[in-house]
Amino acid sequence: MRIPISRFHGRSRVCLTGVLTGLLLILSSPPAVPRPAGGAPERGSAYMGIGVLAHDGDTGTRPPDARASQTEGVDVSSHQGDVDWQTLWDSGTKWAYTKATEGTYYTNPYFTQQYDGSYGIGMVRGAYHFATPDTTGGAAQADWFVDHGGGWSDDGRTLPGALDIEWNPYGDDCYGKSQSGMVSWIRAFLDRYKERTGRDAVIYTATSWWTECTGDYAGFAADNPLWIARYASTAGVLPSGWTAYTMWQYTSNGPTVGDHDRFNGSQDGLREFAGDPSAKVEG
């Protein structure tokens, strides 16, 4: 028996629609992210300093109080949840960085409370990006960062974005890159961030990681401020090229949020660094 072709027209349209919808979903999906190695944390859960204790340790000693010459700050991520900014402000904390993004696949669900909350209490604030050079290129990650909270505004209260480039919590310490490959990746991120915002990004790292994974490259020191990570009484030896740090993460066991930092200057110097032309630093 011959079956009329017209009986299949409706089904053909349904099947074709389903195929097209599936193709659109595939094309619009973000790039696949490599799964963490066995026992590694979930992608997106990394935070500033995640590898410092494991690789560099903690001497158990803290630097002397230097608030007359240095300004106390904190860095936070989704691990802290909603932050008690009032308590931090009352204890003398005057600036904060919030994790905004990781790779090109993650945004911090607490970003608004943390980023806007610190600003609302009176702090100078900024955002940072946790780099994953094994997933996507540096320029792509800079775009993701800027598009999801990592931009900069010339209001005297917003710090330039920071690139958190350190040990890979999900696998190989250097993300499977050669030293020259890592330098190229970092340069691509920094160049795109500068192109998008007009500011040079801060580089957060530890000297031991920088030496191992970039060959102690000195070429970024002229333009990019250094945020050094070391849990000790001094910041120790800095990566090549930098003669001083701009910020120092000195502990992961501070009050209220754990990760505490120092800006290497006064509050006026901090505002000047943020971009406030009315803030002048003497001397």
The set of catalytic residues is 75, 164, 166
Residue 140 backbone phi and psi in degrees, to 5: -65, -40
Residue 252 backbone phi and psi in degrees, to 5: -110, 10
Interatomic CA distance for residues 244 and 70, integer angstroms: 13
Token pair 């910020």: residue: 247
Per DSSP bridges, beta strands 95-102 and 124-130 are parallel
Interatomic CA distance for residues 280 and 271, integer angstroms: 9
Distance of CA 10 to the CA centre of its chain: 52
Interatomic CA distance for residues 21 and 9, integer angstroms: 18
Interatomic CA distance for residues 253 and 26, integer angstroms: 44
Residue 157 backbone phi and psi in degrees, to 5: -130, 0
- The residues pairing with 231 across neighbouring beta strands, listed in sequence order, are 58
199 Cβ contact partners less than 8 Å away, ≥ 6 residues apart: 152, 160, 161, 193, 275
Per DSSP bridges, beta strands 95-102 and 71-76 are parallel
| Token pair belonging to 82 | 């909603």
Burial class, 200, CB count within 10 angstroms (exposed 0-12 / middle 13-18 / buried 19+):
middle
